[in-house]
Every structure is written in C-alpha cells, then in structure tokens.
Amino acid sequence: MSNTTFYYGVMSSSKTASLLMTAYNYQKKGTKYLIIKPSTDNRSGEDIVSSRIGLSAKADYVVGSNVGRDLLAVRIMVENTHSEVILIDECQFLDKYLIKYLCEYATENNIVLMAYGLLRNFQGKLFEGSQAWVENVDAMREIKTVCEKCNRKATFNVRFVDGKPVFDGKEVVIGDEDYHVFCHEHQLELRNNA
C-alpha cells in the first residue's frame, strides 16, 4: 500500500467530498487522523473544510506560510494524537518544500498521507504545489468528472470574468462561481474564440 497519494481532479470533481468521506470511514474504524488545509482556501471559513454537496469538517491544522513552523506543528500533532493518517485539502496551495518534507515524514513514520487538490490552474499549467506532489508521492489517483458541454472527461478549469473565458491573469482567485470545467476539445474551442 502506498504511504503517500495525490488525489487530483478539476473543480467540482468531488475532491473535498472524497476527503471527508475518507475521514468518516477512518473515524468509523477508530483510526486517528488529522485534516489539514491551507490558509489560502478561506471560502468556508479559516478552519473549515467544506464540499459543494454539504459535507464539512473542522480542520485540525491550517497551514500558513512558515514551512518550518508548519512542519513542526504537524509532527507534534501527529505524535500527540497518535494519528495514523494525514488528509490534506486544497493541497496545490502548499509550499513545495513543505510537501517534500511531509511526504518524507509520512514515509519514514509509516503514516498514510492523502492529499487532494487541483493539478493545473486555469491557464492549463501545473500549480507549483501540484508539481511537488507529482514529484514526491508514491501514487496518484485522478478523481473524474464530466465536461460541461459534453459527456467526455473534464480536464481543464476555465475562469470566466463577466461571462467570458479568460486565460491570463492572477493564478489564484478563490471561489468557484467564476470557474467551469471542460474537456480538452471544448477548452481549446473557448481559447481559440477568446
């Protein structure tokens, strides 16, 4: 079994719902776990992990911008709670050095680490954090959903501003009301018509 796994998908593919269902299953089994999220994701509140289908849970730790402090805090929490599992939501926003250290820590201590997030930004480029997950995890699993225009697999997030697709601008804008998911063909069609 893999110690470290990166679960990735486009927006609306139920990544957070999958994390919360996994947490529930561990809880039911009596397995101790920690839920971690980045401070970048504040849609539902600073320390709340929430899915679009209504599931939510309080994060045990919110990662900030101090890699050393965050790693130490997670290690102390794992040791104090005897957690066997670390679940991370919106993992693409974590620092690449923290990701590397977390993967090494999980492997060295036989802790299951499951990170859930986006692979690519709205420009189709890997998030820096996602690249670090790809480089450091034992396994990757895609969480799939369908294109908004057809029944093919959605592979791209497209940002809309004033009802029009945009392909340039700030990498991170929190909120899902301005994003839509498309297969490559329909993303390319939107890009060519923009």
Active site residues: 90
* Alpha carbon of residue 38 to chain centroid: 9
Tokens 């679009």 correspond to 52
Going by their DSSP bridges, the two strands 4-8 and 112-117 should be labelled as parallel
Burial category of 194 from C-beta neighbours within 10 Å (exposed 0-12, middle 13-18, buried 19 and up): exposed
CA distance 124 to 66: 28
Task: Give the sign of the dihedral formed by CA 141, CA 147, CA 152, CA 154.
Answer: negative
Helix, strand and coil in the chain, % to nearest 5: 35, 25, 40
Residue ranges of E strands in the chain: 4-8, 33-38, 48-50, 56-58, 61-63, 85-88, 112-117, 139-142, 156-161, 164-166, 179-182
CA-closest candidate to residue 40, choices 75, 92, 5, 77: 92
